[in-house]
Amino acid sequence: MNLIILALAPVFIIAIYIYIRDKYEREPLINLLASLVAGVVITIPVIFMEKLLSIPGEGFSGLTSAAWNAFVVAAFTEELFKFIALYLLIWKNKNFNEKFDGIVYACFVSLGFAGIENILYVTDGGLSIGFIRAFTAIPAHALFGIMMGYQFGLARFYPKERPRRIFLALLIPIILHGIYNFILMSGHPYLLFAFIPYLIFLWFFGFRRLRQLSDRSIYRRFSSK
């Protein structure tokens, strides 16, 4: 039970923070719960698709194998299903009435997925893995969600930019997620040395996006009164 609590604690801490950052009109709790559940549910097709995509990569080795598994097997599959869940849940939802809402829902979908993934890792690897992932993998999934939700929110409210924003909502998280995985999977000492700086970059980039839409949302609301 302690391992489960450790696995899920960072998920709920980040979820509460994102909920609080939605300063003007917070989303219905039932919608946020549905987003978390959707993130949990997509782990099933993700597992099957990752196994399928692993087959072509069996003949690769070294950095080529790491790149295939990092970008195609893991990042592409996971971000694709997060995006599908996000689109089906909120694109036509009446509560999706602010650009910042894209970030909120994308983060909750990502955190639902990250929670199940973390339980699997922690129950297998123990407390040390739980503590490490609490400060690395879980926040990273949330930050990928921020990147997706940022573009997704802009796509919803700027129809002329919609095709490009929708494309970026999927592409940017895949690239960032793939780089994260590749650094770890490569096992290359120079790349591993860059892991902490890369995490710092993700935090900086993610919080900048978070602040941009949060502040714009508040400004638009109050300036319209």
Other Cβ atoms within 10 Å of 83 Cβ, number:
20
Mean pLDDT in residue range 123-147: 90
* CA separation for the pair 184, 38 (Å, rounded): 27
Residue 13 has pLDDT above 60, yes or no: yes
Amino acid code (one letter) for 201: F
In the chain, what are the domain boundaries? Answer: 2-19+27-214
Amino acid code (one letter) for 136: T
Residue 199 has pLDDT above 90, yes or no: yes
Residue 222 has pLDDT above 50, yes or no: no
Mean pLDDT in residue range 201-211: 91
* CA separation for the pair 47, 41 (Å, rounded): 11
Residue 153 has pLDDT above 50, yes or no: yes
Tell me, what's the pLDDT at 24?
78
For the chain, what is the mean pLDDT?
91
Distance of CA 156 to the CA centre of its chain: 19
pLDDT digits (tens, 9 = 90+) for 162-194: 999 999 999 999 999 999 999 999 988 888 899
Contacts of 212 (CB under 8 A, 6+ apart): 150
* CA separation for the pair 209, 151 (Å, rounded): 10
Mean pLDDT in residue range 110-134: 89
The pair of three-digit structure tokens given for residue 203, joined into one six-digit string: 């935090």
HSE-CB at 81 with a 13 A cutoff on CA atoms is: 23
